[in-house]
A and B are shown apart, each in its own frame.
Chain A
Amino acid sequence: MHEWSIAYSVVKTLTENFNKKISKVTLVIPLFSFLDIEILKEAFNELKKENPIVENAELEVKIQEPTFRCRNCNREFKFSDIQQQVGEVKNSYGEEYPLHLMPELLPAFIKCPYCGSHDIEAIGQEIYIEKVEEYGAVERVS
Chain B
Amino acid sequence: MEPLRELAKEKLKDKKVIAIMSAKGGVGKSVISALISLSLPSDVTLIDLDIHTMAIAKLFGVENVPLEVSKEGIEPVKIRNVNLISLAGIVRDRYVILPGRNQSNVMKELIAYSSIKGKYVVFDLPPGLGDEILVLEELSDFKPIVVTTPSKVSLKVVKYLLDYLNERKKKALVVVNMSYFTCNDQRVNLFGNYNGDVNLPIDPNLEDYIGKIQEYEGEVKKVIEKELIPQFM
* Size of B's binding interface in residues, CB under 8 A: 31
Query: Is there an interface contact between B7 and A9, defined as CB atoms closer than 8 Å?
Result: yes
Query: Is there an interface contact between A98 and B91, defined as CB atoms closer than 8 Å?
Result: yes
Given A8-B7, A13-B6, A98-B90: A118 in contact with B106 (beta carbons within 8 A): no
B139 to chain A, nearest CB (A): 13
Q: CB-CB < 8 A to B73: which residues of A?
A: 2, 5
Q: A125–B146 Cα gap in the complex (Å)?
A: 33
Q: CB-CB < 8 A to B99: which residues of A?
A: 71, 107, 118-121
Of all chain B residues, the one with the shortest Cβ separation from A142 is: B1
Q: CB-CB < 8 A to A119: which residues of B?
A: 99
Which of B107-115, B125-133, B202-210, B223-231 sits within the interface?
B107-115
**1/0 per residue B68-112: CB within 8 Å of A?**
010111100000000000010011100111110110011001101
B4 interface hit (Cβ, 8 Å) = yes
Of all chain B residues, the one with the shortest Cβ separation from A71 is: B99
| Residues of B4-21 whose CB lies within 8 A of A | 4, 6-7, 10
Q: CB-CB < 8 A to B7: which residues of A?
A: 5-6, 8-9, 12
Q: CB-CB < 8 A to A73: which residues of B?
A: none
A113 interface hit (Cβ, 8 Å) = no
**1/0 per residue A47-81: CB within 8 Å of B?**
00000000000000000000000010000000000
Q: CB-CB < 8 A to A98: which residues of B?
A: 90-91
- Which secondary structure characterizes the binding site on chain B? mixed
Q: CB-CB < 8 A to A128: which residues of B?
A: 1-3
Q: CB-CB < 8 A to B211: which residues of A?
A: none
Q: A71–B3 Cα gap in the complex (Å)?
A: 28
**1/0 per residue A7-37: CB within 8 Å of B?**
0111011001100000000010000000000
Query: Is there an interface contact between A102 and B113, defined as CB atoms closer than 8 Å?
Result: yes
Q: CB-CB < 8 A to A141: which residues of B?
A: 1
* Size of A's binding interface in residues, CB under 8 A: 37
Query: Is there an interface contact between B113 and A101, defined as CB atoms closer than 8 Å?
Result: yes
B61 interface hit (Cβ, 8 Å) = no
Of all chain A residues, the one with the shortest Cβ separation from B6 is: A13
- Find the residue from B1, B73, B96 having the highest chain A CB count within 10 A: B1
Q: A10–B73 Cα gap in the complex (Å)?
A: 16
A121 contact from B3, B69, B87, B101, Cβ within 8 A: B101
Q: A115–B2 Cα gap in the complex (Å)?
A: 33
B60 to chain A, nearest CB (A): 20
A126 interface hit (Cβ, 8 Å) = yes
B28 interface hit (Cβ, 8 Å) = no
B196 interface hit (Cβ, 8 Å) = no
12 CB < 8 A contacts A-B: A93-B92, A96-B67, A102-B90, A102-B106, A102-B110, A103-B109, A105-B90, A107-B102, A108-B95, A108-B97, A126-B4, A128-B2
Interface residues of A (CB under 8 A from B): 1-2, 4-6, 8-10, 12-13, 16-17, 27, 71, 93, 96, 98, 101-108, 118-122, 125-129, 141-142
Interface residues of B (CB under 8 A from A): 1-4, 6-7, 10, 66-67, 69, 71-74, 87, 90-92, 95-99, 101-102, 105-106, 109-110, 112-113
Known contacts A5-B7, A96-B66, A98-B91; 11 further A-B pairs (Cβ under 8 A): A1-B69, A10-B3, A101-B67, A101-B74, A104-B109, A105-B98, A120-B99, A121-B99, A127-B2, A127-B3, A141-B1
In the A-B complex, the 8 residue pairs with the closest CB atoms: A9-B7, A9-B3, A104-B105, A104-B106, A129-B1, A104-B109, A13-B6, A108-B96
